[in-house]
Amino acid sequence: MKYKVWDAPDVVSGTAQQVLEHIIQKPTTLDSEISRMNAAEYAQAILENASHYLPQQVVTVLSERSYPSDYDKALTYLVSMPASGMAILAAEPESKSIKGN
């Protein structure tokens, strides 16, 4: 999937892996534990810790859905966390282009 994600103050376009890599490389992330992870480790950490940041009912509903990859699943969980301040603005199969790229 290709996404267009609001990650204040930026709109980030790319695959879920690319969006997670963007977050890791943001200047506001550089001093955090996240900055020492790669995208696969960050995705795994999001999925492992989701129950600490989301109500169990939300985790249950999100876990029942199917995702193209763990990156897509992790991005969906992350933007569902109110504290993330993020939102998926558009999502399309990779074969299609999201307008405004």
Range of the domain at 20: 2-92
In the chain, % of residues over pLDDT 70? 93
pLDDT score for 32:
83
Kindly state whether residue 97 falls inside one of the protein's structural domains.
no
What's the pLDDT band for 12 if we cut at 50, 70, 90? very high
Kindly state whether residue 30 falls inside one of the protein's structural domains.
yes
Kindly state whether residue 100 falls inside one of the protein's structural domains.
no
Q: What is the 3-state secondary structure (H, E, C) of 10-59?
A: EEEEEEHHHHHHHHHHCHHHCCCHHHHCCHHHHHHHHHHHHHHHCCHHHH
Bridge partners (DSSP) of residue 6 are: 11, 87
Amino acid at 54: L
Burial of 97 from C-beta contacts in 10 A (0-12 / 13-18 / 19+): exposed
Please give the tally of structural domains in the chain: 1
Kindly state whether residue 101 falls inside one of the protein's structural domains.
no
Kindly state whether residue 70 falls inside one of the protein's structural domains.
yes
What's the pLDDT band for 99 if we cut at 50, 70, 90? low
